[in-house]
């Protein structure tokens, strides 16, 4: 018994609806990272990020030495902030870390071109990014005028 064209269409449509209207598969959980941080968030801030930011604020010479050594710690540090378990959330925390990377990149580019005013401006932007993040995630730091 041969199927009529309408029957073939109906069968194909039913099959498409059965597979197309089912629940969407749940996304797989992201794989656990094999990389484990050695420093706590507090240690990372005190021992890596703050000294690197100080290098930007202190002088162009510190970022690009006469030997051509680049100080890229502020930029790379933003990646460390996004590692688990340091990342506080995937929303504003990650956005703030990305803003830190962007402003640190500006400082590095300005230093490479020996643009002291550009480094100074980028240093101000880094300070703004850090302060905004601290207001949200470490408000106790804003109570101490000497803290960054």
Q: Which domains are seen in the chain, by residue range?
A: 38-143 (1.20.120)
Distance (Å, whole) CA 86 – CA 116:
33
54 vs 7, more confident: 54
* Chain centroid offset of residue 78 CA: 6
Distance between CA atoms of residues 13 and 129, nearest Å: 54
Q: Is the pTM of this model over 0.85?
A: no
Tokens matching residue 128 = 């703004």
97 in Cβ contact with 78 (< 8 Å):
yes
% of the chain surpassing 70 pLDDT: 55
What count of Cα atoms within 13 Å lies in the side-chain half-sphere of residue 144? 7
Q: What is the pLDDT of residues 30-83, one digit of tens each?
A: 666 667 777 777 777 777 777 777 666 565 544 555 555 555 555 667 777 877
Do 53 and 108 form a contact (C-beta atoms < 8 A)? no
The Cβ-side half-sphere exposure at 46, using a 13 Å CA radius, reads: 6
């Amino acid at each position: 018994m041969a199927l009529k064209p309408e029957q073939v269409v109906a069968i194909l449509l039913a099959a498409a609806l059965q597979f197309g209207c089912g629940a969407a598969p749940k996304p797989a959980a992201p794989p656990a990272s094999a990389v484990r941080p050695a420093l706590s968030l507090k240690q990372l801030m005190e021992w890596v990020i703050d000294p690197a930011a100080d290098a930007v604020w202190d002088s162009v010479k510190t970022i690009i030495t006469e030997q051509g050594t680049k100080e890229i710690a502020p930029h790379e540090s933003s990646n460390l902030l996004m590692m688990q378990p340091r990342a506080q959330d995937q929303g504003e925390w990650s956005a703030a870390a990305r803003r830190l990377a962007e402003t640190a990149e500006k400082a590095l580019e300005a230093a490479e071109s020996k643009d002291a005013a550009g480094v100074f401006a980028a240093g101000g932007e880094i300070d703004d990014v850090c302060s905004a993040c601290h207001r949200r995630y470490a408000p106790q730091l804003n109570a101490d005028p000497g803290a960054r």
